[in-house]
């Protein structure tokens, strides 16, 4: 058996063999530490009966470790130049399929439904910083048949996704991710274990996808409209942001009454509200907002 891909020597050998140069525009940073890759595989919880979709296999370092654990690996790679490299490095693993496709354009539902028939499913990936949020929220919002998502992303973004109310990192992204999944920050990954070395550290995040959201909301789209609106200007009060970004000023009196009825102080900042408080506010405000929309039509 050949040496693991995720070592500095083997990675350099592969890159030199194929004359591969990194594309900054694709956020390509390859991991050169097998222990961290094994941590990701362990966090995915995948076994021989289970299947993994991998986002951005690169030269196959993580793919190789996933293939040793899971029954099937479906890897999505956007960079055509990596296809011959993957065909070479993943030759020992016939249960790995590489798709040359942008994960943001892929219709994953049919594939995941098929994979789930034989066992659990996970989506795993070392995500480029510039597309972390669209990829993650795309996976969650589609409510795909996925049991777990394990991603390595910029440390600062991981902290925002996992943040609790009252912390500086807590915001609309925290609430959106935690509405769909239970979020655990697994491990901080130093920038020194990547080739080339990025400017920031990373973190591994595990998201256990919920079968039901933690709160009941009357209208999901409005719930997220309210949450985003409430965080429009972080330094402003909930009252200011809701009035300026969600409702219009003609509803001032109704809004005041609503806040006092549900016992949420409108001079609080959005970052202090729990997901339960946002759900309560959203459910009570929804008829008022709907009325405002109908009048505007």
Cα–Cα distance for residue pair 272/170, rounded to 1 Å: 9
**Sequence ranges of the binding site for S-adenosyl-L-methionine:** 29, 31, 56, 77, 102, 126
Residue with tokens 């769909």: 180
Q: Which long-range contacts (CB under 8 A, 24 or more apart) does 79-84 make?
A: 79/23, 79/26, 79/28, 81/18, 81/20, 82/20, 82/57, 82/58, 84/18
Instruction: Quote the CA–CA distance of 247 and 264 in Å, as a whole number.
Output: 17
Do residues 257 and 251 touch, judged by C-beta distance below 8 A?
A: no
Instruction: Report strand pairing: 202-209 vs 96-100.
Output: unpaired
Q: How far apart are CA 196 and CA 173, in angstroms?
A: 28
Binding residues: 29, 31, 56, 77, 102, 126
Distance of CA 45 to the CA centre of its chain: 17
Q: What is the rounded CA–CA span in Å between residue 222 and residue 289?
A: 9
Buried b or exposed e, range 18-31, using 16+ CB within 10 angstroms: eebeeeeebbbbbb
């Amino acid at each position: 058996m050949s040496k693991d891909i995720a070592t500095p020597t083997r990675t350099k050998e592969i890159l030199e063999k194929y004359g591969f140069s990194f594309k900054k525009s694709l956020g390509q940073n390859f991991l050169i530490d097998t222990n961290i890759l094994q941590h990701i595989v362990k966090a995915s919880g995948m076994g021989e009966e289970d299947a993994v979709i991998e986002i951005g296999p690169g030269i196959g370092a993580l793919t190789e470790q996933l293939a040793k654990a899971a029954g099937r690996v479906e890897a999505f790679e956007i960079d055509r130049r990596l296809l011959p490299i993957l065909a070479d490095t993943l030759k020992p693993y016939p249960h790995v399929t590489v798709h040359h496709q942008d994960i943001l354009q892929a219709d994953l539902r049919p594939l995941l439904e098929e994979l789930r028939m034989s066992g659990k499913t996970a989506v795993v990936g070392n995500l480029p910083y510039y597309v972390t949020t669209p990829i993650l929220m795309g996976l969650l919002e589609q409510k795909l048949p996925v049991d777990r998502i394990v991603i390595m992303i910029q440390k600062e973004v991981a902290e925002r996704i996992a943040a609790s109310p009252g912390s500086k990192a807590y915001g609309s992204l925290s609430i959106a991710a935690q509405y769909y999944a239970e979020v655990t920050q697994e491990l901080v990954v130093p920038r020194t274990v990547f080739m080339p070395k990025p400017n920031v550290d990373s973190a591994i995040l595990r998201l256990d996808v919920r079968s039901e959201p933690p709160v009941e909301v009357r209208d999901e789209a409005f719930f997220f409209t309210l949450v985003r609106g409430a965080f429009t200007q972080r330094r402003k009060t909930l009252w200011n942001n809701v009035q300026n970004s969600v409702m219009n000023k003609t509803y001032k009196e109704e809004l005041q009454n609503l806040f006092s009825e549900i016992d949420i102080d409108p001079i609080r900042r959005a970052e202090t509200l729990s997901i339960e408080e946002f759900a309560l506010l959203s459910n009570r405000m929804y008829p008022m907002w709907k009325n405002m929309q109908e009048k505007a039509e």
